[in-house]
Each structure stands twice: as C-alpha cells, then as structure tokens.
Structure 1
Amino acid sequence: MKKMQASPIYIPTVSNDTDWDFCFHLSPQTPIPAQQQTDEVYPTYGSEESEEDTAVQEEEAITDYMSLPKEKLVQSQKKITQLIKEKMTIQANKELIRCVILSRIVFGEEHWRCAQALTNLAYGYLVLRGLPAQAKKHAESAKNILLTWKGNASSDKEQNEILEALVMLYYTLGVVWLLQNHGREAYFNLQKADKHMKELNGLTKRGICGLYVSEKDLTIALGRASLAVHRLNLALAYFEKAYSISVSSFTEVSPQTAEASALLAKAYAMSGKPQHRDAVETYFIKSISAYQATLGSEDYETLTTIEEFCKWLVENGDKQDAYKLLKASLKSQIISYGDCSKKVAETFYNLGRICFANGELRKAIQLLRKCLMIQIFIYGSEHNKSKETKGLLTQLQRESNNPSKWKKEAIQGKKNCICKGTEA
C-alpha cells in the first residue's frame, strides 16, 4: 500500500516584524525615566534632609513610578485572555508585544518575567498568527534567560512558572521545526517540553494571558514528530494516548476526539500492514462521525477527513465505498467552497477516475467534463491541470468508439487507478 501523503504546509516568511517595530516607537507620552523624575522632585542642593531620608524618598518615588507599568502589565494580560476568547487574534498578538515592552520596563531584559513574556509572544505568533519565523526568533531570545533562572528560582511558585514557560518555549520551537520539515530537531525540542512538563508534577497549569500548552497538544506534536523521524510504533503510542486524553477530557463525540481519531487512522494507514486495516477504517469512521455531529457536514475538517479516508479506500481497492462517500460529500463541498471551486473540481476529477477504473465510461466522461469546466474557469484552458483533464477526456472519448479496446484499457485502469487528491 502506498503511504498517505501529508498535505503541504505553507510556511510564511516575514523579513521584518512591523507590529513589533511599531510598538517600540516611543510616543510623546512616554514617561520620564525614574532617575530624572527623582532628581526633579527631590533636588539635592540646599537640602537639610539626611542622606538616609533622601534615599528613602528616592526609593518611594521610583516605586510610585513603577506602579503604573505594573498595573498596565496586569491589565494587558487580562485583555489578552479576553481577546483570545473573542478570537481577535491580531489584537491579542499586539497586546502580547505590549506585555514584552512593559515587562522590560518593570523587570529588566535579563529577568525571567521578561523571558516569560517573550515566550508567550513566540507562542502567540505560532498559534494565533501562524507565523513560525517570528515565533522561532522570540523563543530563541527567551531560552537562555529562562534556563539561567530555572535553577535559581526564589520560590516554588516562581519555579513552576519558569517550568511552564519552558514547556511553552520548547513546544513552540518543536512545532516550528516540524512545520519546516526538520523532524529530528522537532522531536528533540518536544522531548524537552515533555521533560519539563513532567517536572511540574501534575500541578494545574494556569498559564499567563490565557495561553498554555496542554498535555494533549504536546502529545499530538510528539506523535507527528515521531512520524517525521519514521518511528511509527512510537507515533501510534502517542496518538493512542492523545485519543484517551480527548475521550476522558471532552467525551467521545467532540472535535478534539475527532482530531485524535483522524491522526490514529492516518498513522495506522502509514504502516501499510494488513492487520491494521480494520483500525484505519474504524478510526476514520469515528473521526468523520464526530466531526459531522459537532462541527457539521460542511466544515473544513469534516470534508478533509472524508477526502483522506476516500483516498485510503481507493488505494486499498474499495472504490465503490470511496465513490459513495465522495458523492455524498459533494453537496457539502459546494455549500462550503462554492460551485466553481478547486475542491469541487478535485472531487469531480476523483469521481471520474473511480468510474474510469470501474469501466463506467459514460459516467466518467460526464464527471470529467464538469471538472474541466470548473478548471478552465479557475485556471484557464492553458493551465497544466486543465490540459491534463482535457487529455484524459479526449482519450476516453476516443476509446468509447472502440469498445473492445476500451474493455482492455478499463481492466488496466482498475489495476492502476488511484485517487490523486490535489491533482485536480
């Protein structure tokens, strides 16, 4: 059995960070530095106060000055939590930048609190904005500071927060490497995240600004990284664990459990072992059913999982079941993507190829004609996709006038046809 191909992942590359740069431009309202304020409020010349009194007053003045950034930092963290709940990701990310700036003012660049804020920002760029380049940059900036403070924490609470930050930092780096197809580096960083999570001794992870890495998130990432380094048995173990976590935390019919089921199905499919065939089918069906029940038949995750299941069915000779599933999902695809969309063209193409493999010539021609009409509308008649479909149609129309030759071609087609997925 051929291995299932992973969908390509777009990695945005941004040479500069305009949000970050903008937030560092000082405004006219920037507070006067603490020392300057102190000199103006408590001038030393002509004073009859003792040096000790002056020192106390200076300390009080600095404390008053610093209270404003501290208050703003707390407010900003609360605001981020609310923005994330409201799915206002860009605004949340800008608040994370402000938290870094305020943390630098309050604690200094080399303090673990500042590194914690940088780690939150890195994670935000990854999960809120989908910008791994920025995520990696800020995570690397925070790493050495956190590792330095890890062994020098002044309290258990401080130590736990540093560990939480390290879990997030290594998770972020691991996922970034995974997205960039560097399996070994991804696995290495995710293992470190797992080690630090275990150091937390099962304590409740509060997270800062509403951001945290759950055990499920980390387990799934470790499973994906295991697949990337071709450790299938380990990947299956992680995905089985992620499935159990999802069922216990969210019930069996939930988007989280649906995701875990799909991952398990794909991992078993990649093994290519006949004894895993039933497991592949079982978990794909569980995933599709859970997605349909919770997100609906028109949801992207539902339709994508159906496509992947159909691809596996065709590769394993179950063309009729694949045809029925694809045909049943066509209406939902049209609702979600539109009549003239790439996804709908792809489905017509796959349906046509299944009919071709089954020797249903007329039906294959009808379906491929629909596919070609959409492709010409989207890409134009000279695009490679349009030319490929047109060439196949021409061949089928020619063969339809030669039944004996067509019968021979159809038999060969049954042996060779696969569902090409993204090739439509």
Structure 2
Amino acid sequence: MAAGRSPREAPRGARHVASGFTSRKKMQANPIRIPSVSNDIDWDFCFHLSQQTKIPAHQQTDALYSSGGSGESEEETKAKDEELAIDCVFLPKDKLAQSQKKIAQLIKEKMNTQANKELIRCVILSRIIFGEDHWKCAQALASLAYGYLTLRGLPVQAKKHAESAKSTLLTWKANMTSDKEKKEILETLVMLYYTLGVAWLLQNHGREAYFNLQKAEENMKELKEFRKGGICGLQVTEKELTIALGRASLAIHRLNLALTYFEKAIGNVIAAKGDRTSDLISLYEEIAQIEQLRKNHDQAIQYLQQAYSICVSVFTEVNPKTAETSALLAKAYAMSGEAQHSDAVEIYFIKSISAYQATLGSKDFETLNTIEEFCKWLIQNGEKQEAYPLLKASLKSQVNSYDDYSEKVAETFYNMSRICFAKGELGKAIQLLKKCLMIQILVYGNEHSKSRETKNILTLLQRASNNSSQWKREAILGKRNSICKGTEA
C-alpha cells in the first residue's frame, strides 16, 4: 500500500480507471479495449469494489444485512462487519495473484489476446490495492506495455503505457531502501526501456530506439552488480536486448557497432546451446545483411552458408525456412558480382523455388516472389530464354491468387516486356507494357512515380516502333521504284 494512505483511501485510484483508459485515442490496428461493465464479471467486480470501499464498512453491512430481517444479534452483525471489511481489503490481492498465474498459463497456450486482457485486469487491481502512484501499479503498467508489444505487436499502445509507468518507477528507484523492492524495480525498468526501444524501432525511429535500449542495458548492468552477476529469470533476456541493440545500431547506420552486438549475441547462443541450434539461423541472416552493407560479400556468404546448413539439419531441405535461407544465399552470391558465383546463384534459387512449391504451393506469395527475383537475375545476366517461360507460368498463378489487377501482376508484365524488347520483339513488348500501365494506373493512380515511369518507357517504345515502320515503308517504296525504273529501261 502507498505510504501514508489508509486502506479506505487506496481504492481512490480506481475512480479514474475507466476515464483514464477510454479517453485515449484509437491507435493502429486494434485499439486498446477495456472490458465493459456489462459483459465482464471480473471488471464488474473490480469496478463495484472500488465504489463500495468509499462507503464505511458498517454502512455497507447495514445495507446488506439489515434489510434481510434475519434477527441476528449485535455480536453476529459485528463479526460479519469485520469479515466484510477484511474481504474488501484482501480479496483484490487474491484476484491479482490469480490473474498473474493465469497470464503465464495463457501465454504458454499461445492465447495472446486473453493474456493481454488479464494484464489489463492486473493494472486495474493494482490501482485498487496500491494506488496510482505506487511502483507496483507502475510495474503492472510496464508489464501491460510489454504485453502489447510482444503478445499483440502493437507498438503505439506499448509506448503509451510504458511512458505512463516510467516517471513513477524512476521516482521510487531513487528513494527505495528495500533490496528486494529495488531488485524488482530494476527488473521492471529493463523491461520498460526494452519495450520503448523496440516500439520506437518498429516505427522506424532508430535514434529513440537506441537511446531507450541503452537505458535498458544500463539497468541490466546495475541489476547484475546488485545480484552479484546473476540475472536468471528476467522477462527480457540478455540475448534479446543485445539483438535489439544490434538492430537499433543498424537503423542509425552504425554498422561496426551493429556487427559487435550481433557477434556478441551469436557467441552467447553458441555458449548456451551449441553451434547447431536453430536460434542461430536468424542471427546469421541478420549479421550477413550487415556484412553486405559493409561490402564484405564473402563474409556474408559464409554466414548464410552456416544458416543454410543448420536449416537443412534441423528442418530438412524441403521446408519453408530452408527455402527462405536458400533464396537469401542465392541473392548474396548474386550481390557479390563475381562471375564464378553464377552457378551457385542458379542452384540456390532453384532449390528455394522447389522447396516453396513443395511446401507452400505454386500460388503462394513467397514462391512467386522468389521466381520473380530469379527471373530478374536471369534477365540481368542475359539469360532471357530461361526467364520468359518462368514468368509466363507464374503469371497464371498470380492472376489466380491476387486478381488480374495487382502490383505483382503489373511487375510481371513489366519484366516480360523487358525480355521481349531485348529479343527485338518490339510489338509484343509494347502490348505487355500497355497491360502493365493499365494495372499500375488502377493500383497506384495516374500520377504515381511507377505509372509515370512506365508511361515514359511506353512512349519511347511506340516512337521507336513508328520510326521502324516508317523506315520499312520507305525501304519498300525505294525497292519498288528501282524495279519500275529497271522495267522501263
């Protein structure tokens, strides 16, 4: 209970629960939803309990028992008075403990929305029990913020609740004397700053993300010193924080720093789980991306080969994850620009497409996207004869999957047009580009940069076609005239 606050005053924090939540603006995707009084029993209990505790206990007892006409003695009434007063104070604590246990079970069962509702209930109960200004209430808000981020993927809501909790936690941390409470506050601050950092990162604000994640790192270091080196049982692990810092560093273009964080994360995973764990796959893929940005293509290829090798051993070759890594490896070989890597590009693209078709089907987005990437590479390398039938076959699947008028279909028509132009089939190239332009105008609008670019190319091709036709007509007329002159002679 907050310092200097009597048990009857504690529920005052609940008076603003409904207005405090429902006055917030609608966020992205799914807005924050507080269960309504009419359809949620636990909310109904919490709401009415907060109203009840404003009334002195003896008045509540009179209202509940005197109207019954039960003829109870004064001693019995007094005993029930005391029992009800105890219920009003201790029952919310029991409800809070139940909710906290329930959250862990719901998360284990992957019932994320229900777990998030329980986190909301924990905030309400914490306000009733401790009051709005207590660190325990701020801790419940920080947990709710982390829930919105990790369970629901809603960074705006996560950020809002984390900011609400921050000032309270920092105030209590500065004045805390109990070691146990200080440890809990430090753990909560790690979770809170991690939540803020990742939420900013998801919204493409690299600087804000890096700043908050650094704060999380500082609090984790302080917690390590406080616990004499051990930090087991934290909600946010050291590995998760290190990876988030690596991604934030990448977002602000500090490539060497990003590389350091990912190398540290990989080292920690290998030390804990060995060098063949599936946890390494995504880390190898991300560190390969950093190496590509640093123009270290050979190093990037090595990391992706390690990722592919783990995929094959853990998932087998015919698996969507293996297909994804195979496509990344093909693109890494292509990015190197080395002629000796051409065979490897083709091999890994074909492996990826085959695995996607076998597992997800020929109409799946990933399958079609990989075919398109492969065809682009074939066109760039002058292998147009192989690219055209692949694009033509994928076009039917795209129309069936995404409708005639989609971005994907427009891009396929564009690539087919390029092949026809390169082969000297100007009329066919113009027809395909017209189809591409028609879809782009419907999808993007007439003034979009893609529509304007296609329109300009189409105009150039049509001019070239007209000039070619005129040249042919002039050549034919010239031949006719020479024949006529020869006959006259």
**TM-score range normalised by the length of the shorter chain:** 0.7 to 0.9
1:36 correspondence with 2:75: no
Could you tell me which of 169, 176, 187 is aligned with 1:164? 187
The CA deviation at 1:58 is 8.5
Name 2:335's counterpart in structure 1. 315
The CA deviation at 1:205 is 4.1
Name 1:280's counterpart in structure 2. 300
Could you tell me which of 133, 143, 150 is aligned with 1:120? 143
Q: Percent identity?
A: 44
* CA offset digits 1:159-201 (Å, max 9, x no partner): 0110010000000000111111111111100000000000102
Could you tell me which of 145, 151, 160 is aligned with 2:168? 145
Name 2:283's counterpart in structure 1. 260
The CA deviation at 1:143 is 0.6
The CA deviation at 1:302 is 3.9
Name 1:82's counterpart in structure 2. 105
Cα distance, 1:66–1:336 mapped onto 2, change above 3 Å: farther
Give the letter for the 1:313 counterpart. Answer: Y
Q: 3-state DSSP class of the match of 1:323?
A: helix
- Residue pairs, 1:169-248, within 5 angstroms: 169-201=192-224, 202-207=229-234, 212-248=235-271
Q: Report if aligned partners of 1:250, 1:257 keep a CA contact under 8 Å in 2.
A: no
Q: Aligned partners of 2:90, 2:288: CA distance in 1, in Å?
A: 54
Q: Aligned partners of 1:61, 1:388: CA distance in 2, in Å?
A: 71
RMSD: 3.0
Name 1:343's counterpart in structure 2. 366
Give the letter for the 2:362 counterpart. Answer: D
The CA deviation at 1:366 is 1.3
Q: Report if aligned partners of 1:351, 1:367 keep a CA contact under 8 Å in 2.
A: no
Name 2:7's counterpart in structure 1. none
Name 1:99's counterpart in structure 2. 122
Name 2:431's counterpart in structure 1. none
More divergent stretch after superposition (225-234 vs 330-339):
330-339
Whichever structure has more helix as a proportion of its residues is 2
* CA offset digits 1:345-394 (Å, max 9, x no partner): 22222222333334333222211112222222234444453234224324
Q: Report if aligned partners of 2:297, 2:332 keep a CA contact under 8 Å in 1.
A: no
Q: 3-state DSSP class of the match of 1:18?
A: coil
Cα distance, 1:245–1:311 mapped onto 2, change above 3 Å: same
Q: Which has the larger radius of gyration?
A: 2
The CA deviation at 1:28 is 6.7
Q: Aligned partners of 2:115, 2:358: CA distance in 1, in Å?
A: 31
The CA deviation at 1:121 is 0.7
Cα distance, 1:133–1:292 mapped onto 2, change above 3 Å: farther
* CA offset digits 1:314-356 (Å, max 9, x no partner): 1212332122112112232124433212222222222223333
Q: 3-state DSSP class of the match of 1:200?
A: helix
Cα distance, 1:82–1:380 mapped onto 2, change above 3 Å: closer
Could you tell me which of 44, 47, 51 is aligned with 1:27? 44
1:17 correspondence with 2:39: no
Q: Aligned partners of 1:292, 1:87: CA distance in 2, in Å?
A: 27
Name 1:7's counterpart in structure 2. none
Name 1:326's counterpart in structure 2. 349
* CA offset digits 1:11-43 (Å, max 9, x no partner): x81473124667799527833623536123778
Name 2:482's counterpart in structure 1. none
1:363 correspondence with 2:386: yes
The CA deviation at 1:215 is 0.2
Cα distance, 1:382–1:40 mapped onto 2, change above 3 Å: closer
Q: Aligned partners of 1:146, 1:277: CA distance in 2, in Å?
A: 46
Q: Aligned partners of 1:64, 1:361: CA distance in 2, in Å?
A: 79
1:392 correspondence with 2:415: yes
- Residue pairs, 1:60-71, within 5 angstroms: 62-71=85-94
Q: Report if aligned partners of 1:119, 1:139 keep a CA contact under 8 Å in 2.
A: yes
Q: Aligned partners of 1:381, 1:256: CA distance in 2, in Å?
A: 40
Q: 3-state DSSP class of the match of 2:44?
A: coil
Q: Report if aligned partners of 2:61, 2:84 keep a CA contact under 8 Å in 1.
A: no
The CA deviation at 1:290 is 2.1
Give the letter for the 2:113 counterpart. Answer: I
Q: 3-state DSSP class of the match of 2:175?
A: coil
Cα distance, 1:240–1:253 mapped onto 2, change above 3 Å: same
Cα distance, 1:266–1:78 mapped onto 2, change above 3 Å: same
Q: What are the ranges of 5 or more consecutive residues in structure 2 without an aligned counterpart?
A: 1-26, 63-73, 426-449, 451-489
- Corresponding residue pairs, total: 376
The CA deviation at 1:203 is 3.1
Q: Aligned partners of 2:404, 2:151: CA distance in 1, in Å?
A: 38
Q: What TM-score, normalized to structure 1?
A: 0.80
Q: Relative contact order, CA 8 A, sep 6+: which one is greater? A: 1
Q: Aligned partners of 2:347, 2:134: CA distance in 1, in Å?
A: 60
Cα distance, 1:232–1:399 mapped onto 2, change above 3 Å: closer
The CA deviation at 1:310 is 2.3
